[in-house]
Amino acid sequence: MIIKKISILIISLFLSSVCFADPYHYIDILIGERASGLGGAFVALSDDPSGAYYNPAGMAFSTKGYVTTSTNTYKTSKAIFSDVLISSKSSSSDWDRSSTSFIPNFFGVLQKVGPVQFAFSVIMPESDLVNQDSLMDIELDNELDNMKYVNNNNDKTVKYLIGPSLAYLVKDNLSVGASLFVSQAKIERINTQWIKYVNQDKRFTHRSFYDEQKIFGLDGILGVQFMPSEKYSLGASLTYGHDFSAESKQQTMQTTQQEAALVDIGKSFDLLEGGFKSTPLKVTVGGAYFYSPKLVLLGDIKYHLNHDASVQFFSKKGGVNISLGGEFYPTMYTPIRAGFYTNRSSLGADYDGSYNIDLYGFTSSIGYETEFSSLSLGVNYSFGTGYLNLGNRKFDARMSDFHIFFSGSYMM
């Protein structure tokens, strides 16, 4: 039984993170200077360049032309899976998985051109860098099978959205807008495992795995915004993506005391044939209440459509996420923002190596604004508990993300 559990663990270390560094949540990074501090509640406001991502219709209400705006984020994530690793015949230990990255995740330009507002954006909604080392001394019932186990996992994930947006003011209180982004993602994964049987002089196993995935497609966003009065704003957006290509190239090499072999050489997989989809349909509706010139309160509801795939780890569970936020100006130059959001698991089907964890996040930021520029500094912390699937068993799991973001804009 112990041998079987170890084998399942080793296999699962390969299977986890098949596509993205965290394929089990819809939200990886909050985008934009104001929206990041508001918990992503922005669909009923969206009046700066990041509106291209949330609701392009909101940009029609912008009274300023933004020459540039940028957001940089430092991100660290940690997941802990309880009692997964066997350290002796009678005890086990937790498996920790962590990642860090520094992400220039938004750059945008917004300018009025004739009757429309035009924007061009470079967005990085997903990014992760994992460099994980695990070292275990494993004791088994048969002492000849006692082993020293080393696992090194290096993952790099990056996804870009690049493209234009247009917003048009149909009436003084009604606008429509659209964004069309070229979507490109690249995932590189290197996993190395080494097992030394400590009571057998020459027995060992070395296994290395390399996987490179490239995804190319288009993401479109349609939006509408309506202000029934000066106190209220309502917004809605629809997001959908189409993948033209999604390919995985893999290579596996295994060495033992008896032989060295290339198990798979340059093996390619068409992920689309398995039902892979990077951006399933999402519908967002929200509202904003302008309590006073100094205070605005916002809320969004995001509905993610269920995506069924023939390959189970490409399936995504539908569901609802919410975002709530508030922006307050204690002085005319200093905005303070705070927000709350949910980031529920999108795991569509349980399989070895997958985890199901609902996250809950809190954000806060403070800024300084002048007539022509703005700066903001903020934090985003999310956490949650759930389970890891491994060998027909479920193990307790918990996860946390911590982001520090810094933004700057120049306005005309």
- Residue 325's nearest CA partner among 310, 335, 311, 314 is 335
pLDDT of residue 9: 47
For residue 17, the model assigns a pLDDT of 41
- Per-residue model confidence (pLDDT) at position 304: 97
- The 3-state secondary structure of 122-188, one letter per residue: EEEEEEEEEEEEEEEEECCCCHHHCEEEEEEEEEEEEEEEEEEEEEEEEECCEEEEEEEEEEEEEEE
The structure tokens 């051109």 sit at: 113
Distance CA 396, CA 384 (A): 11
User: For residue 159, what are its two tokens?
Assistant: 């996804």
* Enclosing H/E stretch for 177: strand 174-197
State the residue range of the domain holding 211.
2-411
Return d(Cα 50, Cα 256) in angstroms, integer. Answer: 53
Characterise 308 by phi-psi region: left (phi > 0), alpha (psi -120 to 50), beta (else).
beta
Count of other CB atoms within 10 angstroms of residue 144: 11
% of the chain at pLDDT higher than 90: 59
In the 8-state DSSP scheme, what is residue 51? Answer: H
CB-based contacts of 301: which residues, under 8 Å, 6+ apart? 284, 285, 286, 320, 321, 322
> Which phi and psi (to 5°) does residue 401 adopt?
-125, 140
The pLDDT value recorded for residue 346 is: 94
The model's pTM: 0.89
How many domains does the chain divide into? Answer: 1
The Cα–Cα gap between 26 and 295 comes to 29
Residue written as tokens 């070895």?
A: 352
Q: What is the dihedral of CA 197, 198, 201, 202, to 10 degrees?
A: 30
In angstroms, the Cα distances linking 28 to 4, 23, 51, 304, 385 are 34, 9, 18, 15, 17
Tokens 């819809």 correspond to: 26
Which residue, among 94, 85, 78, has the nearest Cα to 139 in the 3D structure? 85
CA 310 to CA 15: how far, in whole Å? 17
pLDDT at residue number 12: 46
In this structure, what CATH number is given to the domain that contains residue 235?
2.40.160.60
* Cα 271 from chain centroid (whole Å): 19
Distance CA 64, CA 86 (A): 60
Q: What pLDDT was estimated at residue 143?
A: 78
pLDDT given for residue 16 in this prediction: 43
Residues 377 and 15: their CA atoms lie apart, in Å, by: 37
User: What does each of the 412 residues of the chain score in pLDDT, given as a tens digit?
Assistant: 444 444 444 444 444 443 445 688 999 999 999 999 999 999 999 999 999 999 999 999 998 777 777 788 888 888 888 877 655 555 667 777 788 888 889 999 999 999 999 999 999 998 888 777 777 777 777 777 788 888 888 888 899 999 999 999 999 999 999 999 999 999 999 988 888 888 887 788 888 889 999 999 999 999 999 999 999 999 999 999 999 999 999 888 888 876 655 555 668 899 999 999 999 999 999 999 999 999 999 999 999 999 999 888 899 999 999 999 999 999 999 999 999 999 999 998 888 888 999 999 999 999 999 988 999 999 999 999 999 988 788 999 999 999 999 999 988 7
**Token output for 93:** 């230990």
C-alpha 199, offset from chain centre? 44
Half-sphere exposure of 178 (CA within 13 A, CB side): 4
- Alpha-carbon gap, residue 405 to 244, rounded angstroms: 32
Main-chain phi, psi angles of 341, to 5 degrees: -150, 160
pLDDT score for 10: 46
Two tokens at 142?
A: 């048969």
CB neighbours (10 Å) of residue 254?
16
Q: Is 258 helix (H, G, I), strand (E, B) or coil?
A: coil
Whether residue 374 contacts residue 33, with contact meaning beta carbons closer than 8 Å, is answered with yes
Other beta carbons within 10 angstroms of residue 259's beta carbon come to: 7
